[in-house]
Each structure stands twice: as structure tokens, then as C-alpha cells.
Structure 1
Amino acid sequence: MMRPDASVVPVVCLGGAVLLWGTSFVAAKEALTAFSPLALVFARMALASAVFACFRPAMRKSRPLPGDWKWLALLCLFQPCLYFLFEANALTLTTASQAGVISSLVPLLVAAGAWAFFAEPLSARAAAGLVLCLTGVAGLSLGATVEGEAPDPVLGNVLELAAMACAAGYMLVVKHLSPRHDPWRLTALQCLAGAVFFLPAALGAPGRMWLEADALALASAAYLGLGVTVGAFGLYNMAMARMPAGRAAMAINLVPPAALIAGVVFRGDTLSMGQLAACAAIAAGVLLGRVGRAKNASAGGSPAPVGAKSV
């Protein structure tokens, strides 16, 4: 008989991670009402670094190879440096809902990157799904209207797409490093690198910004640093330890609808009929790509890795 821990815990962990990642876009939009984009990133990276410092003795030791420092530098460049540089500014220009929908491209971008750099098979369905998703993103951007929540949605969506490309690159580098490095140590290194990288922006921000921030903005920043950067990653890794990676990766596709619902409920985001059609095209592209990858896996290949988002 299967123990409850073997079946219930992974599902609960995945559900928690999806909820945290999905609501992170809304929390970021709220925090950005008080903080500048890059100062906010510094705050969440510094907070997460402090947490990881407390638990550093409990982390497993890594077994690096001589040339790993180049991959570690690339890892930190992709995520958090470039990723947050793009996404933090994207969320000042587009809505949380649209940004969340665009995040659905990550699995297919990872698959395309694995095909390009690791010679992993990419089916025609997966390639068609990626093209359909990119078409949907274009339709979502072109159908967007300027409003208070989205002063420049086209540029914002382009920046969000660039952030997702960085996320995909980060996941591919993690695949290369993970056999020799503890994932918690990699995450701690990324948070520390992010805190150092974004420190000048935080020092250059107006001092009154930190003092005048309201309770909701401060709570949102804390939620991003503790709940999303630390909590979501931890929950996802707990699930990965208890179920096949492919099944855990499928949960990533639930993040965009969670972000869409959260944006509508908490921020009052609206989508036109044309944008809803574009969202449907993106969802169809993700499904098409997922089917293609599933067939590859059943034929003996392994699906490209999909890691956790650090929104």
C-alpha cells in the first residue's frame, strides 16, 4: 500500500509552488508602486540571501570541476541579473496578467535550447508549438491598449519575453551543473550575486522611498523575497525529490493561468477578446509542444528539463 506521503506531499508542494509563482506577478506590481524596479530586486535578493546564510551549514557540499566557475558566472548572469533586469522593468509597462501568460513559453524555450546546445530531440510538434506561442505573444502585445496598469504594453511584453529567454538559459545551465552542485547552494549563490549586482541601484534610489513605502508594498516585497524566491523553489524541489521530473515539470504550465486569475482578481486586469484569443493560441502552443515532447519521451528520449521560475 502506498503511503500518503508518497502521493499527497508532492501534489501539495507543487500546488504551493504554482500558487506562489502565479501570485508573484501581482505582488511585484504592488511592490513597484512604492519601490523602483531594481531596488525591489535588491531587497528580495538580500532578504533571500540572509535566509540562505542561516541554513548554509545544512546544505550539501558541491563537487565542482575546474572549469565550473564559467558556468556558475553564466548562471548568475542569466538568473537573477538579466532576468530581473528585464522582468522588473517589464512589470512597470505591462499588466501582471499578460506577463504571466508570456511566462508559459519557458518550457518550449527550454526544449528549443536543449535541442540547440545539447542535441536533444525536438519534435516537429514542439517546434510548431513554439511558433504558435510566439504568434500568440505578438497578438497579445498588439491587441493591448495603454492604461494605468500598462503604460507601454508592447515594450513591456517584449521585455518579459526577454526575461523568459534568460530563464530558459538559466535552466539549461542548471542542467549542466546539477550533477555536481547542490541546488540549494546554487540558489544561494544566485541570490548573493543578485544582491551584489543590484546593490548600486538600491544605493542610488531616493532614501525616502524606503521610509515612505506603505505596509502593503513592504509586505509584497517580503512575500517576493521569502515566499517566492525561497519558498516556491523549496516546494518545487521537495516535489522533484518525490516524483519523476517530467511530471513535476508539467505543473509549470499552471503558473500562467494562476497569474491571469490573480491579476484579474487582485489588480482588476482586463483582456480584450483579441487578447483572450491570443492567450488561447499560447495555451494551444504549450499543449502542442507538450504532446510532442511526451511522444519523444515515450519513444525512449528524455524531455528537456524545466526548472522552477524565480519570479
Structure 2
Amino acid sequence: MFNKITDELLPILAGLFVATIFGFSFLFTKEGLEVLAPFHLLGFRFAIAAIILTVLKILGIIKVNFRGKKLGVLLLLTTFQPVAYFIFETLGVQITSSSEAGMMIALIPIFVTILAAVFLKEIPSKQQVIFITISVVGVLFIIVMKGNLDVKGQLKGLFILLGAVISGGIFNILSRKLSLKFKPVEITYIMMVIGAVVFNGISIIQHIGAGMLKQYFQPLENLNALIAIIYLGVLSSVLAFFLLNFMLSKIEASRSAVFTNLTTVISIIAGVVFRDEPFYWFHIIGGGLILLGVWGTNYYGNYEPKKVVSRTYKT
């Protein structure tokens, strides 16, 4: 009985931690972008994450072994997450606010549910569809009611963030399938290494073109930039992705993805408290609908933990 409760509770707790960390990540991304260019920030972020995981691997704290495993699909996953996702997210956050970025990212469950039904045959129950819809309505309600924004700039930022939403949905599906062949830490490790190589590569080329390669590490002298890089690199990239991949290995994709809606509420709170972003009555209503959707989707979940655990790797 205790093991059953633990199997059900741990993925939920992991999802809550992921939502909290990702919720604040928009704020720290916004802070970092005030000092660093998008690819420069991403390069430092993933470099720190890759270094930490490599050290843990060398010390034997984590075990990563790709010997005899087909890496083709895993490399395909990295093109969507972190490469495509973070290009769209970071550029989108640069144009919009941290709150609005969180709202858009909450739309990921729509794409995950559709893709999971088609490719994973994970058909959500009618109750789950209703509550997923409720949470999405909450997000759309906030966006529509925020009519005081510059429409042209808002639409551009939202379309860019839509690319992140689509990439995130595909990542959820691929990660779910890969969890049967790779341990969560292996998925996380290769994601951080690829991210570090790709984003630093782009940033270095940009610095060479601008004749500023000698100043590549200069932004690290700025305290705000350093704090943002550490938060994004250690918490958002290492801890959160490990928890995310763990969660995806335990429960179905459509159910786990709804935690991104909780990220929306946290991102709004973080933006209001720490960046003085405006907070209106429709944020309360929209946020309430999002939380209701998160609760309902999990309450009416119909997964069987023991069956899932028996075919996954333990870390």
C-alpha cells in the first residue's frame, strides 16, 4: 500500500517542483537578457549544466551509459528540446513579459494530448479532456483580457512563443517513448551537452563576427547576469529537467504536461512581485481556471503506476 502511494505521489511532487522552477525561470531569463544576448545567455546556461552533470558522472554520482544504444532518436529529441524550444522561448521572452511567456507555455498540453493520442495511443478520459480544456481556457482568457498591450508586438511575441509550445509538445512525446530505452539522467545529460555545444557555437560565431570574442566571458562580472545564469543552469536545466524526465517515465504524457499550466500561475506571481508587472482581476480568474484544470486532470487520471515502473529504468 505504501509503495503504491509512493508511486503515485512522487511523480506529482516532481511535477510541482518542475512547475515552480520553470515558473521563476521566465523571470531569470528576462533578467539575464538585460545583460546578455539570447544565444550568449543560453550558451552559458547549458555550459554550466553540462559541466555539473559531467562532474557528477566522473564522480560516479550519476551513471550515464550509451553503449549499445541507438542515439538517433535521442539526438532528434535534442533538436526540439533544448535547441528549438529555447530559441523560441528566449526570443519570445525578450519581446513579451515573463508572465505572458508563462501563459503561452501553458498551451503545451493541447499539442501533447493530440500527439499522445495519435502516436502513443494514450486517449484521455472525457473528464480529463474537460479539465485540460478548462485550464487552457484560463490561459486564453488572460491573454484576451490583456488588451492594453501593443497588439503588433504582442502578436509577434506570441507567434514566436508558439514555436516553443509546439517544440515542447513534441519533446514530451519523444521523451515519453525514449524513457523505455534511456534512463532520465541519460536523456537530461545529452540534452545539456547538445545545448552547450549548439548555443555556445552560435554565440561564439556572433562574437567573432562582431570582433568581440575577447569579451566573451565579461558578462560574468555582472552579478545579476551571474545569478540568472546559475539559476537557469543549475535549477532550470539540471534539477528541473531531471525531475521532468523522471515524471514522464512514470505517467502518461497528456497528464504530466498539464503541470505546465501551473507554471503559468507561478510566472505571473513572480513577474508581479519581482518585476512589477501589472496584475488584474482577470489574472485571478484565469489563474483559478488553470489550477482547477491541473487538479481535475490529475484527479481523473487513469494510469497504473506498477505497470509503468516495471518497464522503466531506475536511477
Say yes or no: TM over 0.5: yes
Structure 1 residue 230 and structure 2 residue 231: aligned? no
- The 1:245–1:32 alpha-carbon spacing in structure 2 relative to 1, beyond 3 Å, is same
Q: Is the 8 A contact 2:261 2:290 kept in 1?
A: no
| Distance in 2 (alpha carbons) for counterparts of 1:175 and 1:215 | 38
Q: CA deviation at 1:47?
A: 1.1
Counterpart position of 2:190: 189
Please list, as runs of the form range in 1=range in 2, the aligned pairs for 1:290-301 lying within 5 A after superposition. 294=301, 296-297=302-303
Counterpart position of 2:268: 260
| Distance in 2 (alpha carbons) for counterparts of 1:254 and 1:137 | 10
Q: Which amino acid aligns with 2:272?
A: V
RMSD: 3.8
Counterpart position of 2:154: 153
Structure 1 residue 61 and structure 2 residue 62: aligned? no
Residue ranges of structure 1 left out of the alignment (5+ in a row)? 303-311
- The 1:238–1:297 alpha-carbon spacing in structure 2 relative to 1, beyond 3 Å, is closer
| Distance in 2 (alpha carbons) for counterparts of 1:93 and 1:260 | 16
Counterpart position of 1:78: 80
- The 1:125–1:108 alpha-carbon spacing in structure 2 relative to 1, beyond 3 Å, is farther
Counterpart position of 1:97: 99
Q: Deviations over 1:21-80 (max 9, x none)?
A: 221111111111101112111111111111111122431424655xx4331222011101
Counterpart position of 2:312: none
| Distance in 1 (alpha carbons) for counterparts of 2:138 and 2:188 | 32
Q: Which amino acid aligns with 1:266?
A: F
- The 1:275–1:115 alpha-carbon spacing in structure 2 relative to 1, beyond 3 Å, is same
Instruction: Answer with 133-142 or 172-181: which moved more.
Output: 133-142
- The 1:63–1:110 alpha-carbon spacing in structure 2 relative to 1, beyond 3 Å, is farther
Q: Deviations over 1:109-152 (max 9, x none)?
A: 322211122222144455555566555555544443347xx992
Counterpart position of 1:221: 229
Q: Deviations over 1:177-226 (max 9, x none)?
A: 11211221221111111122222431114645752562112211111001
| Distance in 1 (alpha carbons) for counterparts of 2:131 and 2:159 | 19
Instruction: Answer with 269-278 or 186-195: which moved more.
Output: 269-278
- The 1:184–1:141 alpha-carbon spacing in structure 2 relative to 1, beyond 3 Å, is same
- The 1:171–1:182 alpha-carbon spacing in structure 2 relative to 1, beyond 3 Å, is same
| Distance in 1 (alpha carbons) for counterparts of 2:273 and 2:73 | 40
- How many equivalent residue pairs? 290
- The 1:180–1:124 alpha-carbon spacing in structure 2 relative to 1, beyond 3 Å, is same
Q: 2:277 aligns with which of 269, 275, 299?
A: 269
Identical aligned pairs, as a percentage?
Answer: 24
Q: Is the 8 A contact 1:132 1:285 kept in 2?
A: yes
Instruction: Answer with 189-198 or 211-220: which moved more.
Output: 211-220
| Distance in 2 (alpha carbons) for counterparts of 1:12 and 1:276 | 24
Residue ranges of structure 2 left out of the alignment (5+ in a row)? 309-315
| Distance in 2 (alpha carbons) for counterparts of 1:158 and 1:284 | 26
TM-score (structure 2 length as normaliser): 0.75
